Chain A
Amino acid sequence: MPLHPQIADWFASKGWSPRAHQLDVLEATEAGDSALLIAPTGAGKTLAGFLPTINDLIDNPAKGLHTLYLSPLKALAVDVQRNLMAPVTEMGLPIKVEARTGDTPAHRRQRQRTDPPHILLTTPEQLALLLSHADAGKLFGGLRRIVIDELHAMVTNKRGELLSLGLARLGTLAPQLRITALSATVAHPEILRDWIATPVPNAEARLLLGTGGAMPDIGILNTEQYVPWAGHSAAYAIPDLYQVIKAHRTTLLFVNTRSQAELLFQLLWEANDEDLPIAMHHGSLAVEQRRKVEAAMAEGRLRAVVCTSTLDLGIDWGDVDLVVQIGAPKGASRMLQRIGRANHRLDEPSKALFVPSNRFEVLECEAALEAVQHNWQDSEDPVSGGLDVLAQHVLGSACADAFDPVALHDEVRRAWPYRDLDWETFEHVVDFVATGGYALRAYERYAKLKVMPDGKFRIAHPGIAQQYRLNIGTIIEEAMVKVRLVRGRGFKTGATTGPIGRGGRVLGEMEEYFFTTLTKGDTFLFGSEVVAYEGMVESEAYVSRSQGKDPKIPSYMGGRFPLSTFLAEGVRKLLAHPDDWSQLPDQVADWLRLQRDVSLLPQPDSLLVETFPRGSQNFLVCYPFEGRLAHQTLGMLLTRRLERARARPLGFVASDYSLAIWGLGDFSGLIRTGRLSLDDLFDEDMLGDDLEAWLDESALMRRTFRNCAIIAGLIERRHVGVKEKTGRQITVSSDIIYDVLYQHEPDHILIQATRRDAARGLLDIERLGHMLARIKQHIVHKPLDRISPLAVPILLDIGKEAVFGEARESAMADAADELIREAMGQV
């Protein structure tokens, strides 16, 4: 029994006993091993992480940094400090615990470097900052332990890549350190274990599974209401939801996007006859407003909070006794984590309710329900490392001290995401950091890194370290614009007309790209009001109050996460097995029966393609169930091919389930007469030249490049989005840099990084590739006279979702034609 009596007494005084997995972590640490603890929320994970530290410090109360705690949220670091101080104080131990975030005062941060606490609670970005100072070796040299919280949430993104490089560095500075990582349940825990094992090669890493909590109590909303064919508002469910909220103490209502949150919040307040305290929480709200909601929540003053993924992680928000998922669950692991937000007491079941907002989502909810009940996991696996993050780390290493490239390469390969990094690529990255890495050697005299006689690289001057510290991190804020309320009609389009309406109050901020899709008069929901877009004035969006109740632009944007492969399989299986439809609501089962009668049901190992005329156009609808991103990519590539086949496509729209393309050519006829072959159309070779040709022009690549260029340090963070009063950018835009670079060095390190990110994120190419391989020679074509029941939802999305097409050039051609007609007096 390695537990120190002082700790055992404290447990006893509380009437508790340590949980098995808490002791397991302690035992692993005492045995000199690292450990990955996988346990559900509410299992006392945080204490499990710190028990070995407390235990060790009681016997060895040495000065200096003993344990470094890293979490993805600075709020979590602050919260853990509070929660950890309680037992430490109650045990009467002289252990110093401090948090360090971007909000920590500069003088304290300065002091923490020279006189650190025993336990420092911080974020991956702050770790990178600390490591970039020359005194990092002194600060971390005696470090015994690292505790990483919510590891599963970090390993799938660039923050995880940055963290992994920081861990590798710490492993060099303090070979004696051991890592304890805490994670929610994931699909492949052994990969996460390796992830924390590689930075400390002299230690084993144990995989510890916490005892599972009680089986969650989950249902799908049972409603008398009509479930809509399409849309994401879940308006039909409002009366039921209101009753559910009334029947519980505190309900968390998760939605997938900010605009869904806005809409749901508005609808709930319209139904809120009893004035229940219902609040909203999402990333576009002002920080003070979010803090207010969180405080009210913690004090138990709220009955319901409508929220987005901003509340997926983090601290306990009081007594949540019900979690409601509105709309598509998207993934089983994600749902399990969200459901875990309810009832942080381990032994009682968490209670959750799925509310599909349309008929396909009913199927998805059924699939998710089955997965969650079996505790099946489909979480994303950790990703291999990006070269942009590596470039940032290389510069950071040079800021701390001159580095030997061979030694740094070895160290970097101890970061799990970079374990396979070859020397040549590493050299290119170092060259990029030093001089830009261009084939044309233009910048030798401006080099940021200089090679010293002993072969080590050092920074050219101290200003470079300052610049580096201002640009640290991997989180790139989307360019946001302020939304300001003005009087309607006061502002007119066109610079030649009257005075601009004077600005009123600022409603909040919104992603800049949203406004690129709007024209004057378009209405949308913001801050729970329907507003009309008036125009951009300098760098603010002006809006006026709208009379109408229904916003014209739903700005749904589909959310960031596509349907998981796993749930997609579940949906395909359910569709293909009419025997299982009895579990579905009658109206949904009827819909599927109708599809079976008038067309075909999609089968798991083939791809159903329907073609039919409608109005003056022809439609091609297919059902890959591979998620919106893969479908968008597929749509882009198919329309290019249809163009070449002279099928005259006009546009397409993609959902998580299906893809609809429309055009002027007679798709059915072209296929029947053999002029269009579906096997050729869907051939995997589209991922070759067609993909390349499309990427050449794709705005997605430009947007992705911007992020990579900022992370890699090519573009300075503080310059991004800075504009003069005239609206002209002071600095050169990242689009221009991308175009110039792409044309001259398509294999440049940063273009490689951009490609990888685009392929993985926005394009979902790997998944599309798997799908194309699976359905090869298994395409089932069904020509129809009219629209099929299954095609209705996606066709209803036209006009609501973004429509894509090769239309930019032709828009100008049309405008030119129009001008000619006008000149000829034909308009």
Chain B
Amino acid sequence: MLLSFCCHQFEALPSGALFWRAENALLVADLHLEKLSSYARRGSLLPPYDTGMTLRRLEADLDLTGAAEVIALGDSFHRDEGSTTLLPADRLRLAALMGRARWTWISGNHDPAPHSLGGTCASIVERAGLTLIHEPKRNQQGIVAGHLHPSAHIAMNGRSVRRPCFVHDNRTFIMPAYGASTGTLNILAPAFVGLLHWPTLEVAMIGKGRVYPVSPKRLITGAEW
């Protein structure tokens, strides 16, 4: 599905990635690699498969779009040391992906330190008049960010559904979290207050194999944000 933002065209993919055709770049936010395994130290031996799932998702998106560049908008690793705890198979998979595309790791609050996996580590990327950054900033034009894991909850004809979503107001664009182990936050939650301008809001929900544009007036708050 095509989304128009600050005079740029983006393709919103059902995986949660944005394909920026003009730049031949794939934008992803909040991969949170090595999230589940990071609980092991505290005694919760959670299934160590989320990293592999996220990387396979990326692989499919690169196949689909043929993007020559990947820009990860922060929180790529759930913890800084995630870049060192990758299991051998995942490390190989990531190396193969990085061999196919130019890679930029934007730092996030979960992974502030640069690492030595290759590609470029940066805190911010300016590109074609847009600012790519982890945390959205208030009152600044042309920000593309992640961090908040937005989801939309809608009610329609007595049914209700909550899914991750792309959301922007033509000033700030907030991407859904891409990682297989990420939770979501309802865009009506207090964390979004003042960040988005309601009258120009555009919301696109992620469904099975497609992305659905929905009217903001359908949005509801559920029991969980």
Bound CA span A815–B157, Å: 9
**B171 within 8 Å of A by Cβ?**
no
Does B223 lie within 8 Å of A496, measured CB to CB? no
Min CB distance B154 to A, Å, is 5
Does B189 lie within 8 Å of A716, measured CB to CB? no
**A584 within 8 Å of B by Cβ?**
no
Q: Beta-carbon contacts of A421-442 to B below 8 Å, as 1s and 0s?
A: 0000000000000011010101
Bound CA span A208–B44, Å: 47
Q: Beta-carbon contacts of A798-827 to B below 8 Å, as 1s and 0s?
A: 000001010111111111101100100000
Does A495 lie within 8 Å of B214, measured CB to CB? no
Q: Which of B47-55, B113-121, B125-133, B134-142 contacts A (4 or more CB under 8 A)?
A: B47-55
Chain B minimum-CB-distance residue to A467? B43
Q: Pick the contact of B220 from A520, A737, A805 — CB < 8 Å?
A: A520
The listed residue with most A CB atoms (<10 A of its CB), out of B53, B156, B214, is B156
Q: Pick the contact of A519 from B44, B155, B157, B190 — CB < 8 Å?
A: B155
**A223 within 8 Å of B by Cβ?**
no
Does B223 lie within 8 Å of A737, measured CB to CB? no
Contact status of A819 and B215, CB under 8 A, knowing A436-B46, A729-B183, A740-B36? yes
Bound CA span A262–B45, Å: 43
Bound CA span A819–B212, Å: 10
Does A728 lie within 8 Å of B185, measured CB to CB? yes
Bound CA span A513–B224, Å: 9
Chain A minimum-CB-distance residue to B199? A496
Min CB distance A398 to B, Å, is 13
**A516 within 8 Å of B by Cβ?**
yes
Does A448 lie within 8 Å of B180, measured CB to CB? no
Q: Beta-carbon contacts of A466-506 to B below 8 Å, as 1s and 0s?
A: 01000000000000010000000000011110000000000
**A464 within 8 Å of B by Cβ?**
yes
Q: Which of A165-173, A268-276, A369-377, A741-749 contacts B (4 or more CB under 8 A)?
A: A741-749
Q: Beta-carbon contacts of A237-259 to B below 8 Å, as 1s and 0s?
A: 00000000000000000000000
**A714 within 8 Å of B by Cβ?**
yes
**B residues in contact with A517, CB < 8 Å:** 160
Min CB distance A246 to B, Å, is 42
Contact status of A810 and B159, CB under 8 A, knowing A494-B188, A494-B198, A819-B213? yes
Bound CA span A517–B188, Å: 17
Does B159 lie within 8 Å of A807, measured CB to CB? yes
The listed residue with most B CB atoms (<10 A of its CB), out of A481, A732, A733, A745, is A732
Does B215 lie within 8 Å of A436, measured CB to CB? no
Does A536 lie within 8 Å of B222, measured CB to CB? yes
Bound CA span A176–B53, Å: 54
Q: Beta-carbon contacts of B194-211 to A below 8 Å, as 1s and 0s?
A: 101010000001011000
Bound CA span A493–B219, Å: 9
Contact status of A438 and B159, CB under 8 A, knowing A536-B225, A740-B53? no
Min CB distance A747 to B, Å, is 13
Does A816 lie within 8 Å of B213, measured CB to CB? yes
Min CB distance A610 to B, Å, is 24
Does A814 lie within 8 Å of B185, measured CB to CB? no
**A727 within 8 Å of B by Cβ?**
yes
**B residues in contact with A814, CB < 8 Å:** 156-157
Does B155 lie within 8 Å of A808, measured CB to CB? no
Bound CA span A745–B46, Å: 12
Does A809 lie within 8 Å of B208, measured CB to CB? yes
**A31 within 8 Å of B by Cβ?**
no
Min CB distance A530 to B, Å, is 20
**A736 within 8 Å of B by Cβ?**
yes
Does A464 lie within 8 Å of B47, measured CB to CB? no
Min CB distance B85 to A, Å, is 9
**A463 within 8 Å of B by Cβ?**
yes
**B residues in contact with A382, CB < 8 Å:** none
Bound CA span A807–B183, Å: 22
Tally A-B pairs: CB < 8 A. Answer: 176
**B193 within 8 Å of A by Cβ?**
yes
Does B183 lie within 8 Å of A811, measured CB to CB? no
Min CB distance A130 to B, Å, is 22
The listed residue with most B CB atoms (<10 A of its CB), out of A481, A512, A536, A812, is A812
Contact status of A740 and B180, CB under 8 A, knowing A446-B40, A818-B215? yes
**B residues in contact with A602, CB < 8 Å:** none
**B residues in contact with A819, CB < 8 Å:** 213-215
Q: Pick the contact of A815 from B53, B214, B221 — CB < 8 Å?
A: B214
Min CB distance B109 to A, Å, is 12
Does B43 lie within 8 Å of A463, measured CB to CB? yes
Does B46 lie within 8 Å of A732, measured CB to CB? yes
Residues 16-47 of B contacting A (Cβ, < 8 Å): 35-37, 39-41, 43-47
Does A811 lie within 8 Å of B193, measured CB to CB? no
Bound CA span A818–B220, Å: 16
Contact status of A515 and B154, CB under 8 A, knowing A464-B43, A815-B218? no
Q: Pick the contact of A435 from B45, B49, B50 — CB < 8 Å?
A: B45
Residues 515-543 of A contacting B (Cβ, < 8 Å): 515-517, 519-520, 535-536, 538, 541
Residues 392-420 of A contacting B (Cβ, < 8 Å): none
Chain A minimum-CB-distance residue to B194? A496
Does A481 lie within 8 Å of B215, measured CB to CB? no
**A residues in contact with B95, CB < 8 Å:** none
**B170 within 8 Å of A by Cβ?**
no
Q: Pick the contact of A493 from B154, B221, B224 — CB < 8 Å?
A: B221
**B161 within 8 Å of A by Cβ?**
yes
Does A446 lie within 8 Å of B189, measured CB to CB? no
Q: Pick the contact of B188 from A495, A513, A811 — CB < 8 Å?
A: A495
Does B159 lie within 8 Å of A808, measured CB to CB? yes
Min CB distance A332 to B, Å, is 37
The listed residue with most A CB atoms (<10 A of its CB), out of B87, B163, B198, B223, is B223
Chain B minimum-CB-distance residue to A739? B180
Does B163 lie within 8 Å of A812, measured CB to CB? yes
Does A737 lie within 8 Å of B207, measured CB to CB? no
**A residues in contact with B53, CB < 8 Å:** 740, 743-744
**A residues in contact with B221, CB < 8 Å:** 493, 535-536
Does A741 lie within 8 Å of B47, measured CB to CB? yes
- B residues neighboring A (CB under 8 Å): 35-37, 39-41, 43-50, 53, 87, 89, 149, 154-161, 163, 180-183, 185-194, 196, 198, 205, 207-208, 212-215, 218-225
Q: List 29 A-B contacts (CB under 8 A).
A: A436-B47, A438-B49, A448-B43, A467-B43, A493-B221, A494-B188, A495-B192, A514-B223, A515-B222, A519-B160, A520-B220, A536-B222, A541-B223, A716-B44, A726-B185, A727-B185, A729-B183, A737-B36, A737-B46, A740-B36, A744-B47, A744-B53, A808-B161, A811-B159, A811-B160, A812-B163, A813-B207, A814-B157, A815-B215
- A residues neighboring B (CB under 8 Å): 435-436, 438, 440, 442-443, 446, 448, 463-464, 467, 481, 493-496, 512-517, 519-520, 535-536, 538, 541, 714-716, 726-729, 731-733, 736-737, 739-741, 743-745, 748, 803, 805, 807-816, 818-819, 822
State the 3 A-B residue pairs at the shortest beta-carbon distance, nearest first: A436-B45, A727-B225, A442-B48
